[in-house]
Structure 1
Amino acid sequence: MLDSIEITYKVKAETDILFKVLKNSRKLDQNTIIEALDNSFKVSKLDTMKILFYSRDIKAGLGEKRSFRIILKYLGENYPDIIKKNAHLIPYYGRWDDFYSLFDTELEDNVMKLFRKQLERDLEKKKPSLLAKWLKSENTSSKETRALARKTIKGMGFTPRQYRKILSYLRRKINIVETNITFKSYSKINYSKVPSTAIRKYKKLFLEKDKENYLNFKNRIKKDRFNIRNLKYSSIEEVLNSERYNLVEIN
């Protein structure tokens, strides 16, 4: 009985620490984040993975990108089987480009196969996933991004030309804001799918070219913020008991 209580207490103590660390991860270095993750993982893999996906969850969680990617790489290097079982949840809670954290781990080939399989599905779908939006492009000023794009192209077995054509086609299907701006198709912009960085970047243009739709979107956002705040979890108990994170698999 005492042993059971002690184990329960230890699990709660370590998962509580991880929960607090991830809520404040922007101020913390990589080693502190990994240490908290590792200690929590040793006492409860399931609870740890639920907390991890909560930390990345864009809709109902913390929406933390940096700490999630640090941990994802660490898990890919040390616990690849658990990542394999939960890979489908990465774009569900986060974004497709989170998978780049698994490059240079033993899961890199798995990521390439997943990317290619999803692209092939998307080419057949009326409503494709957002993979093509987040895959790295060669036509960028960032050396790191260009290197990742070349690696992605080679890993999926495409030529650069094939890759560009596929991304261009799917991005038009996805209705990416830059594509609509290029073709001056402002009325086709779905503002709810535009990243916040792009909203800020093109704000003046939207007000000039598509004022009514843009302002309607901003008004909807104000109303939705209340509902989004109510969706979010304030305690670790709410996270661990939530059906939203019951998708996580360990065994």
Structure 2
Amino acid sequence: MTSQSSNFAYAMAASATTANRAVSLATPDPSGESSGRLSLFFKSVRGLNVPRQYQYMVDASQESVTDAFLLAFHTRDCRGGKGERELGRRCLVWLFINYPRLFAKVAKLLPEYGRWDDVLQFFPGILDLSNIEFVRANYVSTVPTGKRLVVLRTLQTQMVQLFGRKLQEDLENMTQGKPCSLAAKWAPTEGDSLDSKSGVFKSLATEMKVSPRALRKQYLTPLRAYLKIVERFMCDREWDEIDYNKVPSCAMKRLKKSFEKHDETRFQEWRDALQKGDPKVAKVNAKQLQPHELVREMRTSCHADGVCAAQWKIMEEDCMKNGSLDNDIAVVDTSASMHSPDYLPYDVACAMGLLISKCSVGKFKHHVLTFNSVPAFAVIKDTPIYDRWRQLSSISWGGSTNLQATFELILNRGKECKLTQEDMPKRLWIISDMQFNKVNGYGAVTNFEAIEKMYAASGYTRPQIVFWNVNGSSSDFPVSVGDHGTALISGFSPSVMKAVLEGDDSFSPYGIMRKSLDSDRLQPVRLALGVEDEKNDE
């Protein structure tokens, strides 16, 4: 609550409840000035349903068209943002439909923040604009007719041409022995399921003014060979041509069983060299993997092979580069609601808990806090990653989301041990679906309001609290824009930690969002939009 004048608005905003009947907030900004943007920022994670996502896009764009574009690219960014492919593509398609002239300015940037097949989502066969009423209803969009509809269809053609020009440019670079993009890798394949349904291969060939056969034989086949795409070697049974040091991270995770089966000796030699730790001899990629994918592999296979362990080590090193985790501790939610869908939120929470406990410096290194009716500090011994995962998964969690009890444990431990403020946690990362239990003993207040009262009575200063959402299915919010010393973040990638760890006085839900959107990583988007980005897209 930021001021007496805002009390009524704040009270009206606190009209939602969690699945466990706790009082919560229906909006992150009662004033409405940043509600759409914060909602999109906090809820853009798997589980967010399509209508709600598009409504967030409507609200965000009404607040700031620039920020709506930045949020879309941040959501899609697989190298420095959330890396949410489906959610990011939905945002970008919505912007394409509603702001085509502005979208045209940033279209060429799509592969830099995602992949070249993102461009395919705008091809006429995939994004069908022929049924205007369908588009209006399903994309929550005011799709125009007349001149503006012509603009949209012209832009669709330009997206096909963008892909075609890149293939032509890559072919020229190939003949000169220069590097090429991955456009050929992600180009449509004639006759595959996508092409059979949408005709994208023929659309691309037509705009390139070549026959489908020429597109296949003169462009895609030689370019894919030049790029040394792993799947091509596998199809041709050229296993000895595969350089395991250069296999992309996701491909390695997906295909290593095939490598074991068909190239057993070479692959085992590479793994043995990898285990020895000499990067000049053997190295593994992990850039496009997310931590929960490795946790899921460990959980389902009951072990972590040398490749998995090496990839996890890279993730730990990258996490440390995000900033200083000084006396930070993760609060890991493993309640029943985190098991759906398919244990995904659970895997994410465990993965981030393991990373934070390992990368934290200070008194709370190798510690996590449990969610439970009787929560506890747990020590995760610094052992190989699978052993650490086993330690974490073996903790008695109790299946509860009693956030109040977790903070009572922290304060009671402080009092019992006569700890100073310096001895207390500096920052807590609450990794959860945010469906907390109802508060007891403080009346009809939110969990955060109860925490504020608990700290005020204790004499300790409340730590910074990061609410890290790992399930977009809920519609409530734990804190509002005026609750300083808190952050609202979401996603499955450690990259989202960076804005939190940069450290300055703007530690608030809006301030952390602004850091993410104003980062150097998104500067090309801002430059491409230019000074007209806040004007109507007429």
TM-score range relative to shorter protein: 0.7 to 0.9
Tell me which residue corresponds to 1:87.
107
Separation in structure 2 between the aligned mates of residue 34 and residue 46 of structure 1, nearest angstrom? 16
Q: 1:228 to 1:89 in 2, by over 3 A?
A: farther
One-letter code aligned to 1:31: P
1:44-71 deviations in Å (ceiling 9; x for gaps)? 1222222211111112211111112222
Q: How does 1:1-251 map to 2 (within 5 A)?
A: 10-22=32-44, 24=45, 26-104=46-124, 105-106=152-153, 107-125=155-173, 126-141=178-193, 144=196, 147-165=199-217, 166-181=219-234, 182-189=236-243, 192-194=246-248, 196=250, 198-207=251-260, 208=264, 209-213=266-270, 216=274, 217=284, 218=307, 220-229=310-319, 230-231=321-322, 232-234=495-497, 235-249=512-526, 250=529, 251=532
Aligned residues: percent identity? 28
Which residue number in structure 2 is paired with residue 6 of structure 1?
none
Report the CA distance shift for 1:39/1:161 in structure 2 as closer, same or farther (over 3 A).
Answer: same
Q: Does the Cα contact within 8 Å between 1:138 and 1:145 map onto a contact in 2?
A: no
What secondary structure, in the 3-state scheme, does the structure 2 residue paired with 1:246 have? helix
Give secondary structure in 1 for the equivalent of 2:525: coil
- Counterpart CA distance in 1 for 2:80 and 2:171 is 30
- Runs of 4 or more, structure 1, over 6 Å off, are none
Question: 5+ unaligned residues in a row in structure 2: which ranges?
Answer: 1-30, 125-151, 275-283, 285-306, 323-494, 498-511, 533-538
Please give the alpha-carbon distance, in whole angstroms, between the structure 1 residues aligned to 2:197 and 2:112.
23
**Once the 2 structures are TM-superposed, how far is the Cα of residue 28 of structure 1 from its aligned partner?**
2.1
In the alignment, the residues of structure 2 paired with residue 100 and residue 122 of structure 1 have an alpha-carbon distance, to the nearest angstrom, of 18
Which structure dedicates a bigger proportion of its chain to strand? 2
Contact 1:186–1:210 (8 Å) recurs in 2:
no
* Deviation (angstroms), 1:132: 0.6
Report the Cα offset of residue 210 of structure 1.
2.2
**Secondary structure at 2:524's aligned position in 1?**
coil
CA contact (8 A) 1:72 1:101 kept: no
Residue identity matched to 1:161 = R
**1:233: how far off?**
2.5
Distance 1:37 1:68 in 2: 11
Ranges in structure 1 where 5+ consecutive residues have no aligned partner: 1-8
Contact 1:58 1:93 (8 Å CA) reproduced: yes
Structure whose alpha-carbon radius of gyration is higher = 2
Q: Which residue of 2 aligns with 1:5?
A: none
Deviations 1:118-161 (A, max 9, x none): 11110122211000111110143556467222222223322111
Count, aligned residues: 241
Note if contact 1:187-1:213 (Cα within 8 Å) is conserved in structure 2.
no
Q: State the partner residue of 1:4.
A: none
Pairwise CA RMSD: 2.5
Q: Which amino acid aligns with 1:194?
A: P
CA distance in 2, matches of 1:240, 1:72: 16
